[in-house]
Amino acid sequence: DEVERRRIERVLAVARAYLAVLAFLAYYMRPTEPAEYRELVSTLLAFYVLSAMVILYSVGSAPRLTAQFTNFIHFTDILWPAAITSFTSGPNSPFVEVLTVFALLAAGHRWGLHEALATALLCVQVILLQSYPWGLAGWGQVNLATLITPATFVFVTAFLVGFLADAEKQ
């Protein structure tokens, strides 16, 4: 119902805002490699913070939260990690775990197991796209183990989050 959807989106909006600010501060204090993208990553993280604040304001002030608006927010929860990790070592980026887990948590909290697994599939596709052949790592520089570890982490996390969310809703 509308009251429950609004409560869920408010909780997620506050968590997203905290996460964005903390990610920005963490990167500011200790930038990651590659060094040539540091300024770009700082800018992306600043826009992520701005985006999180706009979503927080929108969720709080919107008279009604539509399914399209919720889907758009979820899309941004997948898009921001994809953009940021593309310039911070791809699958090896420290942002893969933190930002991707938030997208999985949001999917599980909003909808449940199947949607969390669908989100995991999209996140793993992003990891694969960042690797070959046009990813920053280039041809032949990413081995299979580099892809299996984050992909397994994403799917296991999605399953656990979705399973627990479904159990909570029942």
pLDDT tens for each residue of 85-123: 888 877 777 777 788 899 999 999 999 999 999 999 998
- Tell me which residue of 2, 83, 94, 90 sits closest to 43, measured CA to CA: 83
CB 10 within 8 A of CB 60: yes
The band of 27, judged by pLDDT with boundaries at 50, 70 and 90, is confident
User: How many CB atoms lie under 10 A from the CB of residue 54?
Assistant: 13
Q: How far apart are CA 104 and CA 158, in angstroms?
A: 6
Average pLDDT, the chain: 86
pTM (two decimals): 0.85
The SS3 assignment for 87 reads coil
For range 164-168, the mean pLDDT: 90
Q: How far apart are CA 114 and CA 104, in angstroms?
A: 11
Looking at residue 162, the DSSP 8-state letter turns out to be H
How many CA atoms lie less than 13 Å away from 130 in the CB half-sphere? 25
Element (H, E) at 78: helix 67-86
Q: How far apart are CA 87 and CA 8, in angstroms?
A: 31
Tokens 């985006």 -> residue: 51
